[in-house]
Structure 1
Amino acid sequence: MRTLPFVLLALVVATTAACRSGNVKPSIPTAAPVDVDRFMGDWYVIAHIPSFPEREAYKAVESYARMPDGRIQTTFRFRKGALDGPEKTMHPVGTVKPDGGGAVWDMQFVWPIQAEYVIAWVDADYQQTIVGRSKRDYVWLMARTPRIPEADYQARVKQIEALGYDVSKLRRVPQ
């Protein structure tokens, strides 16, 4: 009976090591340097490989505002299930990592868990952006307007694919 805690601990350590060693992908490239202050404001989610809460998002908008301490107050609002569905909001807080050129943030939804958030591309006018993660599990194509030209959309999908994402999982967000 005394060895059970040690066996469980060994099992957890072995499982964690196995998860880390297999299928490791390189860090996602960044758009560094990013002018974080220019990045602030509203961004409409044009398409994404969604996280669980976003699977049925409509009219999705991510808004960023600098807090006095330099962190980023984020408000993610969307309609659930339909254009006129109930409005949902989330309020994660972003922290710009000092070594990421403004393009790498930690996004905290629940303390103490922080998620990687990488601005992989932003156009020169800060009108369109691609945000991703090194795990290639989630990605967001966003713009300052609720719609972008189809040619722009197709070009961004090619960029997302070049970043290593399975674009068959990409979902356009109805705006």
Structure 2
Amino acid sequence: MQLTKSLLLACGLAMVATAATASDMAPIKPVAHVDLPRFMGSWYVIASIPSFVEKKAYNAIETYTLQPDGRIGTSFRYRNSSFDNPVKTIHSTGFVTPNTNNAVWGVQLIWPIKAQYLVAYLDDNYSETIIARDKRDYVWIMARTPTIPSADYDTLVARVKQLGYTVEDIRKVPQAWPETGK
């Protein structure tokens, strides 16, 4: 019984320490500027520390569409648990945070909650990006192609680690194209 209480206490302290560490970290610095029209379009999710919806995503793609009013229509398309399962789509809206050079957004799935969406890395060709959050709870490594070279992947994971994330939590998203399923 004493061992169980000690184990529970140790686990509880570890959870508090982890939460404190994330909140004690400096905010993530976004990229200097995002050219929104160039950023729009489809991005394949190569890997992520996933939200609950994405934990078993296959062929995940995030697509952005700039709306006339400046908002960003977002569409997350995936198959759950298998390449053979039906396509699911989740729509949300992005709102660029003023004075961030388009690099920080609030993304709203359910009103009135807006989740932070921070462009932490974007290569010069707009072909690879890292989307992060100051809470360091979720992160997305995305590319314009469904696969990237191993060296690029390793470099992007190293960047995620430099941002203060636990990279052991990263899940590679299975991608198989062209799709032939339902």
Q: Same fold (TM over 0.5)?
A: yes
4+ residue segments displaced more than 3 Å:
none
Q: How many residues align?
A: 156
Identical aligned pairs, as a percentage?
A: 52
Aligned match of 1:9:
none
Aligned match of 1:55:
55
Residue pairs, 1:39-78, within 5 angstroms: 39-78=39-78
Give the drift of 1:86: 2.1
1:30 is paired with a residue whose SS is coil
> Deviations along 1:100-126, whole A, 9 cap, x unmatched?
111100000000010000000000000
1:62 is paired with a residue whose SS is strand
Structure 1 unaligned blocks of 5 or more: 1-20
The RMSD of aligned alpha carbons is: 1.4
Distance 1:74 1:22 in 2: 32
User: Is residue 110 of structure 2 the alignment partner of residue 110 of structure 1?
Assistant: yes
1:140 is paired with a residue whose SS is strand
Normalization by structure 1: what TM-score? Answer: 0.86
Give the drift of 1:84: 1.4
User: Is residue 175 of structure 2 the alignment partner of residue 171 of structure 1?
Assistant: no
1:113 is paired with a residue whose SS is coil
2:85 is paired with a residue whose SS is coil
2:109 is paired with a residue whose SS is strand
Change (3 A) 1:22 1:154: closer
Residue pairs, 1:76-95, within 5 angstroms: 76-95=76-95
- Residue type of the alignment partner of 1:52: F
Give the drift of 1:22: 4.3
